[in-house]
């Protein structure tokens, strides 16, 4: 076993996770619950995680809720079942805590679409602009930003900035275009996008709507403008979940990552949720990065406290400022 662990740790660098065989007869739910108690650990999971991970999590949420939880938890270990920028955000907010990510390779195409060196050059072309960045970006981009926002609070964050102050919005061009429409602010946009939200098929969603005329189309603002134009309701993951509960419709076509359907179905057993199809051969749209995390990897990372998120302190402090600004504005707005 000792050899196995040593080999697995060597593989950690290459594979991004501890590659140790897990006994298939192990009750992972029970073992993870024990590890949480023994190690004073908390599991935070994003709505796009697989159902088993959502069910074992202490807190499930979208980026805003997860960062608020990460800021206030008194656990010694934060296990982040999400993608790298989310675990990084938890580390920025709670440097004294050990932050673990079940698979270090759980990245994000949107975060990757904004390399900090290129973004700095872009920002320098607009010296009188402030930078508002969507939380789905690397610590390097956060450090180059003035305020962070999430899809839950973006409108309020933009409205908190004086009207005569020009703004750069990064990294998601679709969310940026949606916010320009909602707030009437003429922002300069960085040209990034999420690989999951930009490939929904307009044609297939239209066909679904013909087959389910009573269904409401609900969409995340990271989708392309033409897809958003079809939607009855647009909102963050949390807002979509809330809407599906409060609205009287019995059927919904859900235009975002399919992980959210687990909570929608749990909270509304009498309603039907249809995942919107992407522009490829698949029937639903999973984020390949989010789905790298598994219950086995979650267990292993808690047992061996690896892979751990670490960060240079000067980068952390620079990235912390705009996140704190976001949390202050959100608290004032009662979000």
Q: Which residues are annotated as a binding site for iminosuccinate?
A: 46, 63, 134-136, 151, 220-222, 237
CA angle centred on 84, ends 308 and 223, rounded to 5°: 165
Q: Which residue has the tokens 């980026």?
A: 63
Size of the site for ligand SF4 (CB under 6 A): 13
**Strands, sheet with 167-170, edge to edge from the N-terminal-most edge strand:** 147-149, 130-134, 167-170, 188-189
Identify the residue among 173, 216, 289, 316 touching ligand SF4 (CB under 6 A).
Answer: 289
Q: Kindly state the smallest distance separating residue 151's Cβ from ligand SF4, in Å.
A: 10
- Candidate segments 22-30, 115-123, 155-163, 285-293, binder of ligand SF4 by CB under 6 A: 285-293
- Candidate segments 108-116, 181-189, 275-283, 302-310, binder of ligand SF4 by CB under 6 A: 108-116
Considering only CA atoms, which of 163, 172, 162, 165 is closest in space to residue 141? 172
Provide the token pair at 241: 């979940």
Q: Crossing angle, helix 84-93 and helix 63-72, to 10 degrees?
A: 30
Identify the residue among 177, 195, 239, 284 touching ligand SF4 (CB under 6 A).
Answer: 195
Identify the residue among 143, 223, 264, 287 touching ligand SF4 (CB under 6 A).
Answer: 287
Kind of pairing between the strands at 251-255 and 272-275: parallel
Identify the residue among 108, 131, 231, 276 touching ligand SF4 (CB under 6 A).
Answer: 108
Per CB under 6 A, contacts with ligand SF4 among 62-101 are: 83
Identify the residue among 50, 62, 103, 257 touching ligand SF4 (CB under 6 A).
Answer: 257
Query: Judged by CB, which is closer to ligand SF4: 87, or 287?
Result: 287
Q: Residue 43, SS3?
A: strand
Query: Judged by CB, which is closer to ligand SF4: 48, or 200?
Result: 48
> Which one-letter DSSP state was computed for residue 97?
S
Q: In whole angstroms, what is the distance from residue 166 CA to residue 183 CA?
A: 13
Per CB under 6 A, contacts with ligand SF4 among 34-53 are: 48
**Annotated binding site for [4Fe-4S] cluster, which residues?**
108, 194, 287
Q: In whole angstroms, what is the distance from residue 139 CA to residue 76 CA?
A: 22
Asked if residue 158 lies in contact with residue 167, where contact means CB atoms within 8 angstroms, the answer is yes
Query: Judged by CB, which is closer to ligand SF4: 136, or 160?
Result: 136
Query: Judged by CB, which is closer to ligand SF4: 160, or 263?
Result: 263
**By CB under 6 A, is residue 109 in contact with ligand SF4?**
yes
**By CB under 6 A, is residue 175 in contact with ligand SF4?**
no
Identify the residue among 194, 255, 302, 326 touching ligand SF4 (CB under 6 A).
Answer: 194
Per CB under 6 A, contacts with ligand SF4 among 196-255 are: 196
**CA distances, 71 to each of 94, 133, 177, 212, 249 (Å):** 6, 19, 30, 42, 36
Catalogue the E-assigned strands of the chain: 41-46, 59-61, 77-81, 98-100, 130-134, 147-149, 167-170, 188-189, 216-219, 233-234, 251-255, 272-275
**By CB under 6 A, is residue 294 in contact with ligand SF4?**
no
- Candidate segments 33-41, 194-202, 232-240, 309-317, binder of ligand SF4 by CB under 6 A: 194-202
Q: Would you tell me which residues interact with ligand SF4 (CB under 6 A)?
A: 48, 83, 108-110, 136, 194-196, 257, 287, 289-290
């Amino acid at each position: 076993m000792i050899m196995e662990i040593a080999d697995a740790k060597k593989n950690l660098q290459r594979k991004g996770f501890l590659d140790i065989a897990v006994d298939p007869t192990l009750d992972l739910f029970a073992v993870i619950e024990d590890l949480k108690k023994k190690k004073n650990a908390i599991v935070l999971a994003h709505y796009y995680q697989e159902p088993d991970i959502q069910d074992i999590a202490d807190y499930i949420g979208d980026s805003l809720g997860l960062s608020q939880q990460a800021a206030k938890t008194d656990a010694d270990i934060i296990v982040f079942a999400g993608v790298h920028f989310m675990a990084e955000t938890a580390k920025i907010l709670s440097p004294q805590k050990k932050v673990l990510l079940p698979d270090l390779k759980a990245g994000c195409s949107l975060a990757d679409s904004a390399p900090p060196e290129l973004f700095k050059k872009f920002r320098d072309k607009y010296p009188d602009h402030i930078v508002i960045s969507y939380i789905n970006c690397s610590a390097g981009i956060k450090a180059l930003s003035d305020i962070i926002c999430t899809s839950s609070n973006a409108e309020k964050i933009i409205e908190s900035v004086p009207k005569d102050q020009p703004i750069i919005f990064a990294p998601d061009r679709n969310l940026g275009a949606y916010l320009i429409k909602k707030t009437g602010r003429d922002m300069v946009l960085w040209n990034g996008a999420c690989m999951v939200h930009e490939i929904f098929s307009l044609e297939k969603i239209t066909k679904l709507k013909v087959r389910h005329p009573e269904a409401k189309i609900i969409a995340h603002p990271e989708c392309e403008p033409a897809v958003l134009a079809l939607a009855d309701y647009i909102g963050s993951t949390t807002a979509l979940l809330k809407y599906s509960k409060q609205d009287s419709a019995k059927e919904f076509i859900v235009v975002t990552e399919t992980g959210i359907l687990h909570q929608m179905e749990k909270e509304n057993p009498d309603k039907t949720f249809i995942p919107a199809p992407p522009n490829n051969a698949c029937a639903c749209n999973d984020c390949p990065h989010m789905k790298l995390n598994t219950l086995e990897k979650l267990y292993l990372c808690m047992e061996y406290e690896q892979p751990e998120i670490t960060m240079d302190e000067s980068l952390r402090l620079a990235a912390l400022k705009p996140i704190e600004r976001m949390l202050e504005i959100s608290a004032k707005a009662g979000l």
